[in-house]
């Protein structure tokens, strides 16, 4: 199985921490030339110290002007693009639908969906110029299951699936593969914040809600950021050269989020 990413030119959004950092490191370790962007300057500084040789930009991908500047930096730094990993996303609010503000809804969609669109539309000409490539979009198991009290997040992640499948058909003739990854309960600070918010909304303790959540996972455990990174690498290297239009769960078998 060929998982070499040698000389691939890769952009990972929100690549300074969490899943994005794991993806960026996996590609770099496999020989790719990597550029990341992130909205968190402190995380970018830590990334620069720990992973040398990668390009980096401070960017809010919900801002189309900032995304245009990002891609100018990618062109200068990498000379083109072979892989786009649309990893950036936010958890959004945890609340009953009638208590969610329009501002919270709009911000969730702006980052999770609009930002993905801005990056993809800028990336496609570069991928076409390269003779093909791979786009990997981060959805979620909430993009295939209902997620009560988390409707902005779930709606945006379902939309990512439609975006992915449509682009796979559109871009296939240009040898551009487009797939989505649907992570489950990924261990780390972000899921801890989500569990804490959901536990409070349900009147449960953190540990009680976490146990309830994992009881609906076939393997009864979380997955790691490195698990997600491995799938992104697989989809973007020769090992995954005939996979496109798919939404692949890396979740341990999540049955329900209700």
Helix (H) or strand (E) holding 128: helix 115-129
Active-site position among 153, 158, 209, 234 = 153
Which pLDDT value is given to residue 100?
98
Find, among 103, 79, 102, 105, the residue nearest to 92 by Cα.
105
Q: Is 63 exposed, middle or buried (0-12, 13-18, 19+ CB in 10 A)?
A: middle
pLDDT given for residue 40 in this prediction = 96
Q: Stretch 87-100: mean pLDDT, rounded?
A: 97
Q: How far apart are the first and last CA of the chain?
A: 38
Determine the average pLDDT of the residues in 57-66. Answer: 98
As given in the structure block, the two tokens for residue 225 are 């950021």
- Under 8 Å between Cβ of 159 and 229: no
Q: What CA–CA distance (Å, rounded) separates 116 from 119? A: 5
State yes or no: is 153 an active-site residue.
yes
> Which SS3 state, helix, strand or coil, does residue 101 take?
coil
Say what the pLDDT of residue 3 is: 83
Mean pLDDT for 213-226 is 95
**pTM over 0.85, yes/no:** yes
């Amino acid at each position: 199985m060929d998982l070499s990413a040698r000389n691939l030119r890769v952009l990972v959004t929100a690549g300074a921490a969490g899943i994005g950092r794991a993806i960026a490191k996996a590609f770099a370790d496999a020989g790719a030339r990597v550029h990341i962007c992130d909205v968190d300057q402190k995380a970018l500084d830590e990334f620069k110290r720990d992973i040398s040789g990668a390009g980096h930009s401070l960017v809010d991908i919900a801002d189309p002007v900032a995304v245009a500047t990002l891609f100018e930096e990618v062109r200068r730094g990498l000379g083109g693009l072979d892989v786009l990993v649309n990893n950036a996303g936010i958890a959004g609010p945890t609340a009953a639908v009638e208590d969610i503000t329009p501002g919270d809804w709009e911000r969730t969609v702006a980052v999770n969906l609009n930002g993905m669109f801005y990056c993809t539309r800028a990336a496609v000409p570069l991928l076409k110029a390269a003779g093909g490539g791979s786009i990997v979009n981060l959805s979620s198991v909430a993009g295939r299951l209902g997620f009560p009290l988390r409707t902005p997040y779930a709606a945006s992640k379902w939309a990512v699936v439609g975006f992915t499948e449509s682009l796979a058909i559109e871009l296939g003739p240009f040898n551009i593969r487009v797939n989505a990854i649907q992570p489950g309960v990924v261990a780390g600070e972000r899921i801890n914040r989500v569990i804490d918010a959901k536990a409070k909304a349900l009147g449960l303790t953190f540990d009680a809600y976490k146990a309830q959540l994992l009881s609906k996972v076939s393997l009864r455990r979380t997955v790691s950021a490195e698990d997600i990174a491995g799938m992104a690498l697989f989809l973007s290297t020769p090992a995954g050269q005939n996979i496109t239009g798919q939404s692949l769960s890396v979740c341990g078998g999540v049955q329900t989020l209700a």
